[in-house]
Structure 1
Amino acid sequence: MTAYKSREEVPLNEKWNLEDIYPNLQSWEEDFKKVGNMIDDVKKFDGAIHGANDLYSYLSLGEELGMVYKKLYVYAMLQVDLDTRVTASQALLDRASQLGQKLSAATAFFNPFLLSLEEKTLQSWIEEVQGLKYFEDDLYELYRYKAHVLSKEKEEVLSQMGEAFSAPRNTFGMINNADIKFGDVTNKDGEKVELTRGMYSKLIEDDNRDTRIEAYKAYYKPYVQLQNTIASTLSAAIKNNVLMAKMRNYPTALEKSLFGDMVPKEVYDNLIKATKENIEPMHRYMKLRKDILQLDELRAYDIAVPLVKDVKQEISFDDAYDTMLKSLAPLGEEYVSTLRSFKEKRYFDVRETPGKRSGAYNLGLYGVHPFILLNHQDDLDSLFTLTHECGHGMHSYLSSKHQPQISAGYSIFVAEVASTVNEILLIRYLLKETEDKHMKKHLLNHFIDSFKGTMFTQVMFSEFEKITHEKSEQGEPLNAEVFNTIYEQLFRVFNGDELVFDDEVKFGWSRIPHFYRPFYVYKYATGYASAIHIADKLLEGDSDTLERYLTFLKSGSSDYPLELLKATGVDLTTPEPIQNALSIFSELVNEFAEL
């Protein structure tokens, strides 16, 4: 695998073409100015919406403004993510963020205004001006928030505090992406090299236990050193969330998070309860892991190492892409050929380079196309990451193509379904195609581990968020010691008694960026359970499920998430999808044990 020292070394066809958004910086500046002027125009509507035509003019202007602003913001954000060290890109993003605050402040009057209208009045206005039909669902959706919208003055103050409220997340992002240095580790030639995140994910899977221990200790060292600083950013993020829920009259921060998706609290509680009731196969897998690795003690740095040796595959990006396309055949020719074109059109930024944001994501930009960030390492994990992000990418693409702007974005609640269906189709394809028993074991191991990461670990994180927010709501202190205790207890419950704890384990909370977007990760688990159901139906050749699933991918946010999923045959208000998924996990562990 090539290690690139700079972006200049990466081949052009493996880099985003950001000119698809703006041909040059001058065009960005022109839009920046345009948005500023449009914000001034929007302000004029404050106190001046007296009838159906005024309302239509305001909403039309607002939609256009939102679209131009998102382009501005995304362009700046993508520039920063390509190299977080470049101050010019940071400055661009800062300007875009500040403009966003102005936009929020300028439109803060609208929700209180709308909610002061009688529903009868709104209904008569919609009947009067044809164009308002387009906005109807969104306008009525706002009435659902009536009890949670504050006075005009308070809303204005809150919108101006947006930057202050997002400070804990931004601070953690800087600590985590820009400032943390993991120190040096020994590579296989015995030389000292600087540890990176990408390298860590490789070393923690190394056959040599000493290598794993060294990487593990080096990786956690800065988090342990910064535990109090990070605890204060996380504590502030949780307190902000609790305060915002209280100010907006929600019973709890959790219920505030679930409100937008119309998800009952039972779905969240069901997920945790059903997973813990079916935790035994997970403990069995940990015991199996200890036996296969022939260890006296299983420790945290032993739980990522593949249990099947000597199947290290070098898979180039091009080969990974071809394999992915073959595995997705059950989704139909149109899906596959559309996805094939993503590569030719440079929707991907493929390689890890110094300063580039870690991890992977898809960002769909309405009116342009999806942008997919990767840090591709030419291995099996990278093939899965590619397939996962392409699930998101196709969801963005199809929803944008088939929905108007107002309903093209989809809720995060359903987002993980599209990515995980792809992953499950890939693993099932690889398991079916391989004759090699050794390889089959390796793939089963990979399937079990991804199940563990996407289902069990995310449920554990979800419970951590629930407990910490409840503590804050009860006025209890939150600090490194409290976080450590909660995290360690949960880690024991989810991983079982086979695991012997190193001191670092309890600091796991300190490195999780998702905790700064509260009550987000449970959607990975519900998404995974839903995806298992859909993928298995697709593999049975169920044409009805295929049709319903493709409709789901084209639906954006045209209905509430639970309803969109029900249309594919998955009902998350019952424990059944979770129990089904966990019984498949149990089967996988049994099959692996037999092999």
Structure 2
Amino acid sequence: MEQERSQMNPKDQWDLSTLYENDEAFEQDLARMDADTDAAAAFEGKLRDAETIAKFYQAMTALQRRMNNLLTYAMLRQSEDTRAPKAQELMAKGMNKAVLAESRCSFAEPEILALSEEKLKEIADAKELLPYRFLLQELLDEKPHVLSAEAEQLLAGFSEVLEAPKTIADSLMDADLSFDSVKDREGNERELSQANFILLEQSEDRTLRENAFRSFYKGYASHGNTLAATYSGIVKSFAAQARARHYESSRAMALAGEHIPASVYDGLVESVRRHMPSMHRYVQLRKKLLGLDELHYYDVYVPLTQGLSAQDSWSYEEAKSLVLEGLSPLGREYTDQVRKAFDDRWIDVYPNAGKRGGAFSSGTYDSNPFILMSYTGDYESVSTIAHEMGHSMHTWYSKNHQPSYYADYTLFVAEVASTVNENLLVEDLLKKTSDPTQRLFLLNQYLEGFKATVYRQTMFAEFERDAHAMAERGEALTPQALNNLYRKLIEDYFGPELVLDEEVACEWSRIPHFYRPFYVYKYATSYAAAVALSEKILKEGDQAVKPYLEFLSMGGSTYPLEELAHAGVDMTTTEPIDAALEKFDRILDEAEQCAEELKAAAAETPRQR
């Protein structure tokens, strides 16, 4: 049974006081938001010259900073315990104010874009708007897709309704969905939760793995109609917005926001499909090393060897040291700030009853970043610290080098820094051991990273592309239709060596990222970019670190493909994807070699009588 949060040591919980001292301070600041909204809304009908538009941007900046603080605090409080009525109340109050503010200020874009081309050019070049030039450029890019002021206000008023399918799915998965307890091979009962599912799937006890797998997906399948309806709802709402804004498809709207050509998305899928035999080869290696006659989906997470995981666990203090050592190639400034993050309680460390599953990094311009995780002491938990700290340090560099309106980096680059950190951690640990058992364990972590982040996320990208296309053709997204689509993709990506259990077909229903349409492909492109950057950092040292830290400092001040080019990676071609998957092949070669060494050593060891 997981502990209640109130029973846990506060030093292992994040310190939200850099946002608000307590809920009362939140309520007081919430009351101030009306004045911010009034100040920004007062510019309606007046956005005709550079000076006035500059003043409006200043008013909107103040409003958005307060709104971000309020919504982030409410989200973090809700994530601590999704059952807590007070946290739900704070989120509802914050969302109500935010929806009202967005609706009242929705006049701005159509009002500015209604100006003549000549006037827009004059305004864009005005000295008063120099700090906002990139914002204006992005706005001008959107001109064909911005509606009338009345229509924009109407859409803004529906924003919370359009998000309702995601809200319902989140509540179901995080708070209401429960799972039957499961038995291990000794017959002992084990609790199953969102937080420990993957940990149980990594167990050497195959009986426990299978029982956890079947119980977990039985829980999801029992809500299949509801989850198909919520997913269909988000697909339809996204399609409706795309049609209203004159995009040719939902995907076109999603890609346009970051200036990503469709060729980047399609090139990813094509490149990964070209390298599908490598994934099938990895599945074959997994089956061989696990000594199984049949490989099932509940066998795909268990480590290929115990290796470093032979320890019961790493303490949190040990994990922090491992992460700091692994990130040392990024330089003293970087690691000193990571150390400060640990000391200043950026991280909510351990699981507790009702805590949101998974891990994330979040924060605002006025606070330090925050990391939510459920530390369990295994390698995955150590890697999660490195990963989420990558996000947090990206946020820290951005907010310390950009004004608030450019501090948020785009989703396309969001996973680069986190994956660079993961890769540096693995490379550091590989450097420190020549033992084939430990190396095979670590190489498997690398291989799992490729499997989970390049192959799996590209599979998700195909699922999204096809599911949205089905809806756009007028086909119903029933549980059976979605299950069939997902099952075929599993078959393609994992190959003939994987036994397709019935339960695997409904895995799509537990993927929260599908409620942010066309987001998941960015994990794969980010991973490829991160492979290139981490190798440059390790080979070139300071020469590569300098542009990398500059990349982290750019926030959202230019287009993401340009930011990555500054760091040294051209994602407009498939070269980084192909190069990353060629590295996957090399790692796979070494893993097979380690496996042969271990097999030979075992054959030479006299049998004990």
Give TM-score, length-normalised by structure 1.
Answer: 0.97
Which shifted more, 242-251 or 179-188? 179-188
Query: Alpha-carbon deviation of 1:49?
Result: 3.2
Query: Alpha-carbon deviation of 1:530?
Result: 0.4
Separation in 2 of the partners of 1:330 and 1:452? 25
Task: Quickly say closer, same or farther: Cα 1:283–1:194, change in 2 above 3 A.
Answer: same
Q: Deviations over 1:404-428 (max 9, x none)?
A: 1111110011111100000000001
Whether 2:294 is the aligned partner of 1:297: answer: yes
Match of 1:34 in 2: 32
The residue correspondences of 1:462-501 to structure 2 (distance < 5 A) are: 462-501=461-500
Match of 1:114 in 2: 112
Q: Which runs of 5+ in 2 are unaligned?
A: 595-609
Query: Alpha-carbon deviation of 1:118?
Result: 2.0
The counterpart of 2:183, out of the listed 180, 186, 194, is 186
Match of 1:167 in 2: 164
The residue correspondences of 1:68-467 to structure 2 (distance < 5 A) are: 68-125=66-123, 130-186=127-183, 190-309=187-306, 311-313=309-311, 314-467=313-466
Separation in 2 of the partners of 1:156 and 1:413? 28
Q: Is the CA contact 1:316–1:379 (under 8 Å) kept in the aligned structure 2?
A: no
Separation in 1 of the partners of 2:125 and 2:287? 68
Q: Is the CA contact 1:411–1:561 (under 8 Å) kept in the aligned structure 2?
A: yes
Which shifted more, 44-53 or 420-429? 44-53
Query: Alpha-carbon deviation of 1:499?
Result: 0.7
Give, as a single letter, the amino acid of the residue that structure 2 aligns with 1:485: N
Match of 2:600 in 1: none
SS at match of 2:370: strand
Match of 1:570 in 2: 569
Query: Alpha-carbon deviation of 1:191?
Result: 3.5
Query: Alpha-carbon deviation of 1:568?
Result: 1.6
Q: Deviations over 1:332-387 (max 9, x none)?
A: 11111111100111111101000011111111310211011111111111000000
Separation in 1 of the partners of 2:379 and 2:185? 20
SS at match of 2:196: helix
Q: Is the CA contact 1:76–1:92 (under 8 Å) kept in the aligned structure 2?
A: yes
Query: Alpha-carbon deviation of 1:549?
Result: 0.6
Query: Alpha-carbon deviation of 1:125?
Result: 4.4
Query: Alpha-carbon deviation of 1:460?
Result: 0.1
Separation in 2 of the partners of 1:330 and 1:579? 25
Task: Quickly say closer, same or farther: Cα 1:266–1:478, change in 2 above 3 A.
Answer: same
Q: Is the CA contact 1:365–1:371 (under 8 Å) kept in the aligned structure 2?
A: no
Give, as a single letter, the amino acid of the residue that structure 2 aligns with 1:103: A
Q: Deviations over 1:522-576 (max 9, x none)?
A: 0000000000001011111343221111110111011100011111221111110
Tell me how many residue pairs correspond in the alignment: 592
Q: Deviations over 1:269-318 (max 9, x none)?
A: 00000000011111011111111222121111111111113633311111
Match of 2:605 in 1: none
Which shifted more, 77-86 or 52-61? 52-61
Task: Quickly say closer, same or farther: Cα 1:126–1:484, change in 2 above 3 A.
Answer: closer
SS at match of 2:310: coil
Separation in 2 of the partners of 1:373 and 1:230? 25
Query: Alpha-carbon deviation of 1:187?
Result: 5.2
The counterpart of 1:58, out of the listed 44, 56, 59, is 56
Which shifted more, 304-313 or 332-341? 304-313
Give, as a single letter, the amino acid of the residue that structure 2 aligns with 1:473: E
Give, as a single letter, the amino acid of the residue that structure 2 aligns with 1:248: R
Separation in 2 of the partners of 1:290 and 1:72? 49
The counterpart of 1:14, out of the listed 12, 15, 22, is 12
Q: Deviations over 1:468-495 (max 9, x none)?
A: 1111111122111110111011101100
Separation in 1 of the partners of 2:172 and 2:134? 41
SS at match of 2:34: helix
Which shifted more, 199-208 or 515-524? 199-208
Give, as a single letter, the amino acid of the residue that structure 1 aligns with 2:129: L
Query: Alpha-carbon deviation of 1:15?
Result: 0.9
Q: Deviations over 1:246-270 (max 9, x none)?
A: 1101111111101011000000000
Separation in 2 of the partners of 1:127 and 1:548? 29
Task: Quickly say closer, same or farther: Cα 1:188–1:492, change in 2 above 3 A.
Answer: closer
Q: Is the CA contact 1:168–1:236 (under 8 Å) kept in the aligned structure 2?
A: yes
Q: Is the CA contact 1:7–1:353 (under 8 Å) kept in the aligned structure 2?
A: yes
Give, as a single letter, the amino acid of the residue that structure 2 aligns with 1:355: G
Query: Alpha-carbon deviation of 1:50?
Result: 4.3
Separation in 2 of the partners of 1:447 and 1:384? 11
Separation in 2 of the partners of 1:571 and 1:126? 29
Separation in 2 of the partners of 1:49 and 1:442? 61
Query: Alpha-carbon deviation of 1:161?
Result: 0.6
Separation in 1 of the partners of 2:50 and 2:209? 66
Aligned CA RMSD, in angstroms, stands at: 1.5
Give, as a single letter, the amino acid of the residue that structure 1 aligns with 2:115: L
Give, as a single letter, the amino acid of the residue that structure 1 aligns with 2:454: M
Separation in 2 of the partners of 1:50 and 1:511? 48
Which shifted more, 91-100 or 46-55? 46-55
SS at match of 1:540: helix
Give, as a single letter, the amino acid of the residue that structure 2 aligns with 1:426: L
Separation in 1 of the partners of 2:443 and 2:386? 17
Q: Is the CA contact 1:364–1:397 (under 8 Å) kept in the aligned structure 2?
A: no
Q: Is the CA contact 2:72–2:363 (under 8 Å) kept in the aligned structure 1?
A: no
**Matched residues, percent identical?**
37
Task: Quickly say closer, same or farther: Cα 1:127–1:426, change in 2 above 3 A.
Answer: closer
Query: Alpha-carbon deviation of 1:127?
Result: 5.9
Match of 2:524 in 1: 525
Separation in 2 of the partners of 1:465 and 1:25? 39
Separation in 1 of the partners of 2:222 and 2:63? 45
SS at match of 2:279: helix
Q: Is the CA contact 2:457–2:520 (under 8 Å) kept in the aligned structure 1?
A: yes
Which shifted more, 16-25 or 101-110? 16-25
Whether 2:593 is the aligned partner of 1:594: answer: yes
Match of 1:506 in 2: 505
Whether 2:582 is the aligned partner of 1:550: answer: no
Query: Alpha-carbon deviation of 1:82?
Result: 0.4
Q: Deviations over 1:178-216 (max 9, x none)?
A: 111111112577442431122221211111211111111
SS at match of 1:198: coil
Q: Is the CA contact 1:330–1:541 (under 8 Å) kept in the aligned structure 2?
A: no
Match of 1:582 in 2: 581
Separation in 2 of the partners of 1:559 and 1:125? 19
Query: Alpha-carbon deviation of 1:41?
Result: 2.8
Which shifted more, 50-59 or 19-28? 50-59
SS at match of 2:377: coil
Q: Which runs of 5+ in 1 are unaligned?
A: none
Give, as a single letter, the amino acid of the residue that structure 2 aligns with 1:431: L
Which shifted more, 202-211 or 179-188? 179-188
Separation in 1 of the partners of 2:351 and 2:32? 35
Query: Alpha-carbon deviation of 1:57?
Result: 2.2
Query: Alpha-carbon deviation of 1:43?
Result: 2.4
